[in-house]
């Protein structure tokens, strides 16, 4: 009996070892890795260039005179400087120094597993980019996820933020701690296992394609004609950089750490007595299916002093769907602040 049990245990141990090692023995599906410099002409805003910020290579684009007041554009999830390509020069023509950048893990930035992609660290990266470009303070414009990042910027460095524009913003309000580990902590723990990350990379590389990304991107637009092959390729270019899948897993890993430290009304509204509040714009596409208009209305209720503009017929990415209308709305607010 003991010999039989020992034999069974031995086979079980071998099976466990095989299952543990198998993901590490499977080759990753081949990608189309290329350099960010090669992708800049088709996957970044005009005049984009590679710079190093906080030890990480990324892409920035600038328009206008550096002596003019600065406007910093912060993209959302899956975005990059490419998304702002049609609005930077028109905004610069109104007398602004317009800057866009690729956040770590997104666009044509360097991809790695080892850095934090939590929104407070993304905010610090934007502030460090401003330092690198010798921009002391600026109006910050955040789209979708970028809205939460710019709210973090205001929390971390209020004196440097001259105004905040929230574009179809995905704000992550703080939640009460329950004392029990949440799904986010569990995700981070699971992804810390190399074999799990390997399986995740195999799945991402096997499933992802420009066509699949095109379907996802199109779902963000109410104006479907905007989702041209050129536009899709510009947004999907991130997946042609080395380790893009590792970076995406890192973004998923850190997703539970994105909640603001205080309510948005405390950071940008009247909760602190209205002292030194920056001007705030809430700008929304009326047909946004990703972050619906009722989220914009709720945000305005939390920030009643903010200017609130709804663009009819547009979806989640108004600066892509109607660049001229977006420039008019944002430009009017910038001029009046």
Listed in sequence order, the residues at least 6 apart from 33 whose beta carbon sits closer than 8 Å to its beta carbon are 240, 241, 242
Contact (CB, 8 A) for 32 and 238: no
Q: Is the pLDDT of residue 4 over 70?
A: no
Quickly state the pLDDT bin for 27 (edges 50, 70, 90): very low
Which CATH number applies to 43-173+184-336?
3.40.50.1820
Tell me, what DSSP letter sits at residue 269? S
Contact (CB, 8 A) for 71 and 95: no
Encode pLDDT of 315-330 as tens digits. 999 999 999 999 999 9
Treating both helix axes as pointing N-terminal to C-terminal, what angle do 244-253 and 183-191 enclose, rounded to 10 degrees? Answer: 150
Encode pLDDT of 85-123 as tens digits. 999 999 999 999 999 999 999 999 999 999 999 999 999
pLDDT value at residue 209 = 86
3-state secondary structure of 227: coil
Q: Where are the domains of the chain?
A: 43-173+184-336
Single pTM value for the model: 0.89
């Amino acid at each position: 009996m003991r010999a039989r049990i020992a034999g069974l245990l031995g086979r079980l141990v071998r099976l466990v070892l095989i299952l543990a090692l198998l993901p590490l023995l499977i080759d990753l599906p081949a990608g189309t890795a290329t350099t960010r410099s090669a992708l800049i002409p088709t996957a970044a805003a005009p005049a984009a260039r590679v710079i190093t910020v906080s030890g990480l290579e990324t892409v920035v684009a600038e328009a206008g005179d550096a002596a003019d007041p600065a406007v910093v554009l912060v993209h959302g999830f899956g975005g990059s400087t490419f998304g702002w390509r049609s609005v930077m020069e028109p905004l610069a023509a109104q007398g602004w120094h317009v800057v866009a950048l690729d956040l770590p893990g997104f666009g044509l930035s360097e991809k790695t597993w080892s850095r934090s992609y939590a929104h407070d660290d993304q905010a610090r990266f934007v502030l460090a980019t401003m330092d690198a470009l010798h921009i002391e303070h600026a109006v910050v414009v955040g789209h979708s996820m970028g809205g939460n990042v710019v709210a973090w910027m205001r929390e971390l460095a209020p004196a440097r933020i001259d105004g905040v524009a929230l574009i179809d913003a995905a704000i992550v309000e703080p939640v009460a701690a329950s004392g029990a580990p949440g799904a986010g902590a569990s995700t981070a723990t699971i992804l810390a296992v190399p074999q799990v990350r390997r399986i995740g990379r195999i799945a991402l590389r096997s499933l992802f394609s420009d066509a699949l990304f095109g379907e996802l991107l199109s779902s963000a637009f109410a104006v479907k004609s905007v989702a041209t092959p050129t536009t899709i390729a510009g947004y999907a270019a991130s997946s042609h950089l080395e380790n893009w899948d590792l970076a995406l897993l890192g973004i998923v890993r850190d997703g539970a750490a994105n909640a603001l430290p205080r309510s948005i009304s405390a950071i940008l509204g009247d909760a602190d007595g209205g002292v030194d509040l920056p001007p705030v714009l809430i700008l929304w596409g009326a047909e946004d299916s990703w972050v619906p208009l009722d989220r914009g209305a709720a945000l305005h209720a939390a920030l009643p002093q903010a200017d609130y503009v709804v663009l009819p017929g547009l979806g989640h990415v108004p600066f892509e769907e109607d660049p001229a209308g977006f420039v008019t709305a944002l430009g009017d607010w910038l001029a009046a602040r």
